Amino acid sequence: MRTIVLAAPAKINLSLDVVKRLSTGYHEMDMLMQEIELADQIRLEYRKQGIHLTCNIPELPVDDKNIVVRAAKALLPYGKKEKGVAIYLEKKIPHGAGLGGGSADAAAVLKGLNELWELNLSQQQLLRIGVAIGADVPFCIFGGTARAKGIGERLRRIPDQPSQPILLINPGIHVSTREVFEALDADGAISHPKTDLAIRAWEDQDFEALKKSAGNRLREVTVTWHPEIREIEEKLIQAGAVFAMMSGSGPTVFGIYRTEEARDRAYDQLKEQYPVVIRSKTARREDFHVED
């Protein structure tokens, strides 16, 4: 019985701009997205029929309410062979944290089943299938570092940079991405992140320039509801981070450090103050691969 094991890496938003609200109800985005080493693990075992999901987190649904099951079902019309799969999901990425954990899992399932079921779909085909499942799924298929525009489906590769140590802090609150977008005045007169300059700053590893150019439009809503996010950003900077920002719609905040030693000192300072404090690194595309 063939088995494939994959990592499903989380993401952070180095910059996130909401350009405008579209007539479809979606929002036009412009984001600088970065894969990180923190990852869930997914094991896929071939079955002749049926899609069965089990997870190490009992409270997560294992039916169509789970994006992993929806991703697997999206591939059923492709190929000619009778096919099914048993999916074992080990969650390490905090759920609902602004780190794209569900999207990462869906992307890993799409890539893994393309291999397991011998569908021979191109990356472009997987991206088109992915965006119908979730806006972050295409980037999670793409991996590495990328600029994401449109609703997340228009991706441009940004060259990999040296891995940077990061510290992730989640204050243990739940934030609904849908509610954040609904509360955002997407078309209001407000300054936007300068994504072109943020990309250049990231490529130059110029964190002072990154501070001046990057931003997160969703932060203006989430921080209003949860002021502790601003406090976490400040504490990360005080603890030596060269850059700190909320990821996605929150509530997780990340801090980037020059060295692992500096990050580990910050970890020791902050680990008792919040329920979730995780050490990780930015990742490059070749850091993850499919294992048989």
DSSP, residue by residue, 238-290: HTT-SEEEE-TTSS-EEEE-SSHHHHHHHHHHHTTTSSEEEEEEB--GGG---
What's the residue count for the chain? 292
Q: What is the DSSP letter of 94?
A: P
Query: One digit per residue, pLDDT tens: the chain, 292 residues?
Result: 699 999 999 999 999 999 988 888 788 999 999 999 999 999 999 999 999 999 999 999 999 999 999 999 999 999 878 899 999 999 999 988 899 999 999 999 999 999 999 999 999 999 999 999 998 999 999 999 999 999 888 999 999 999 999 999 999 988 888 899 889 876 665 779 999 999 999 999 999 999 999 999 999 899 999 999 999 999 999 999 999 999 999 999 999 999 999 999 999 999 999 999 999 999 987 655 545 4
Phi and psi at 223, nearest 5°, equal: -65, -30
Phi and psi at 179, nearest 5°, equal: -65, -35
CA 202 to each of CA 3, 33, 51, 196, 199: distance values in angstroms, whole numbers, following the listed order: 38, 11, 41, 10, 5
User: Contact, 201 vs 214, CB < 8 A?
Assistant: yes
Q: Domains along the chain?
A: 3-159 (3.30.230.10), 165-281 (3.30.70.890)
11 is catalytic: yes
d(CA 261, CA 39): 22
Q: Which two tokens stand for residue 176?
A: 């609904």
d(CA 110, CA 196): 31
The one catalytic residue among 11, 83, 111, 235: 11
Q: Which two tokens stand for residue 119?
A: 């569908």
Q: Which residue has the tokens 């995780």?
A: 278
Cis preceding linkage at 61, omega within 30: no
The one catalytic residue among 17, 105, 136, 287: 136
pLDDT (0 to 100) of residue 75: 97
CA 12 to each of CA 15, 58, 115, 121, 171: distance values in angstroms, whole numbers, following the listed order: 9, 26, 27, 27, 16
160 is catalytic: no
d(CA 13, CA 147): 10
User: Contact, 163 vs 277, CB < 8 A?
Assistant: no
DSSP SS3 for 13: strand
Phi and psi at 190, nearest 5°, equal: -145, 150
Q: What is the DSSP letter of 39?
A: E
